[in-house]
Structure 1
Amino acid sequence: MLRESSERLSGNDRFEGFCIDLLNEIAEILKFNFVLIPIKAYGSRNAKTGEWNGMIKELLEDRGDMAVTDLTINFEREDAVDFTMPFMNLGISILYKKPQKMAPSLFSFLSPLSIEVWIYMITAYVGVSIVMYILARFSPYEWQNPHPCDPDPDTLENQFTILNCLWFAIGSLMQQGCDFLPQAVSTRMVAGMWWFFTLIMISSYTANLAAFLTVERMESPIGSAEDLAKQTKIKYGLKEGGTTSVFFRDSIIPTYKHMWDTMNRYKEMGENVFTGSNKEGATRVSKSNGLYAFFMESTTIEYVIERECDLTQVGGLLDSKSYGIALQPGSPYKGALDVAILTLQSRGRFHTLKEKWFRQKRGGGKCKEEAGGSSMASELNLPNVGGVFVVLIGGMGLALVVALGEFVLYCWEISREDEKSLISVLSEELVFVFQCKGSTKPVKKESETAAVDNMYGSDVYNCSGRNPLT
């Protein structure tokens, strides 16, 4: 790349970059001088004429001694020119628009558990309540004296009605307890197992809830080349005439062969998905709003995503290959260059140069800082917990409806017993309710005749109907 300078530069001073530093270090080891000649094309062979272009052509026509760039070693090039041993390993991967942050759901608090687990929990809650109810009715130890001061009661009471069993189970699940507890061994065993179950489930839910509410989650429509091949909404392309296109063109893997045919079909239809350079491909991905993916070498992707924060690498490597320095066929410099590359590798210079030019120079490292800041847990906003307020308001509204139903039913029973109109009883009760003072209320007394009839018609004076377990 051209050096950024306010002065007019000439010769080798015009250029800088990873390969320039690499060439300078090799020249320092082997003690030679060099002159840089910029060539745009890397070098590909025309399938019809068999002629080469770019840097490979310059070497074959003896206009250069070596080609130093991100030149991939492949069979075609190796057959035409010589290569030094590799100085960097890489593979083909996918450059794509960075996944968008998912908008928090109103009911985000339900996300820590799957729908299947929620259904099983509700089923377990109902099932345990029913089992508790049945066992409580079976066990004689759950039938208690409702009046402890009376040593010889006429009836026994079982506090585990079906509604109380449901209340006991939900109180345990909410870690709030209940105002009555089982007395029999069998019901205590059921309660103990239910408490253990709720302990594990609530602990797991609480631990997972923090991650779901505080960590921003990303959503990506594709995760691999196979995902791209299976859909038609997102188009994909590559640099025309490069080694990446050769890989897809000559591949015998059905997925990659299908993708190559698809890219050519788009081109025939007038929607050219091929580009003239990797930079053009990266620009197209950035502007396509997630509707275009670009195949390129992983090292180039790594360089791009350090500077373009809206782009990212998707999936793993489709193949494995390397960069090397191309030489004229039978070049006498190959052995010395191999030794120099091994020397630099043993000194860790390739890693140092990569850190310098990929993550420090020319805007590198900018996206790493942004990623580091966004990975921290964020504060909870209303969209994250809004569903809890909806549930609370809904529960209060339902409770109000039930209370009104209970109130109307109570007034209806009083009107029937006292032979009054329902409207008059409702008005009297409403007046008392809205006075909003006092915590006591007078008891409605039955008439004396009705009380005597009710007393002699009850089970207390009916010996044949007395049942200690009712």
Structure 2
Amino acid sequence: RYFMNITWDNRDYSFNEDGFLVNPSLVVISLTRDRTWEVVGSWEQQTLRLKYPLWSRYGRFLQPVDDTQHLTVATLEERPFVIVEPADPISGTCIRDSVPCRSQLNRTHSPPPDAPRPEKRCCKGFCIDILKRLAQTIGFSYDLYLVTNGKHGKKIDGVWNGMIGEVFYQRADMAIGSLTINEERSEIVDFSVPFVETGISVMVARSNGTVSPSAFLEPYSPAVWVMMFVMCLTVVAVTVFIFEYLSPVGYNRSLATGKRPGGSTFTIGKSIWLLWALVFNNSVPVENPRGTTSKIMVLVWAFFAVIFLASYTANLAAFMIQEEYVDTVSGLSDRKCFQRPQEQYPPLKFGTVPNGSTEKNIRSNYPDMHSYMVRYNQPRVEEALTHLKAG
């Protein structure tokens, strides 16, 4: 425990609880064509530094690479083009055809000494496969990192961000990803031949067309159902029972005065059963009240039940009839869907991923649409798909 924190000659010799060095320094050597050993790299501060690219991609022996053949590549996580996943927890390396990729460095603020080390991450996907094939064919090594300042690239107050900004300000030699070629970007950076040609499409949630088990409750809101069967039914049933109980000609008063000895009584349970039978229009054995006031209350409830059933049946038919209706969308110029979304009920909610060519196109050609959709924009494609499926 006395060697847990030792520094000698500006070098860290601290040991962990298992007796191993916390920050070991290793030298990487390789066998050359002349059958001699050459120092090709080092491992310090949990960072691997190599003079040459990995030989598994270029042949049996390491080939010298000058500075012009080592490129800094910027990319952006966007499935399936670039998929980011953590490194293997056991070996700490990238497996399954993935390559190491780091986070973007903050060049203005250095992290504090006690700050946790960033998680090692690996990148794979369609664009990464293209990058590996280019590196193998042309013969260059690369340092891959993920951009976080503005995603693809957008000019804000005269300053470019994202992957376009990394290349334009020479912080990266190249950028690879699902990057759209437009006129504004082509004026400041050079693009390769596009490997995928696409346009602006609209993605909507697909309805399965099935009727939910609670479809019979959809004609009315939950508050209406509670008011109907909890409050109104209970209040009317108690009122009918009280009027019948106090009525001189009612069941209970006749039994008390001896006019009908051995007769039945009108309980609150019979009152609720009577009102339920009127609501569902069912011919079940019930006992009607004899008092005039209680009869009037029952008539009012029966009139209400007729109106309620007629309205419920009409709305239920509209909800249960599932017509296969698809509202076609002609594109961004569709006035009914995108130009006047507030006129629909409920209003149409749509958005895109900001700081990209799609948002720039909409902002330039449809400013009113852009001002409306800003509130629904999503930072990433995965989050946009999640919100779209959730409605």
TM range (shorter): 0.3 to 0.5
TM-score (norm 2): 0.38
Greater RCO structure (CA 8 Å; 6+ sep): 1
> TM-score scaled by structure 1?
0.32
Find the structure with the greater CA-based Rg: 1
More helix by share: 1
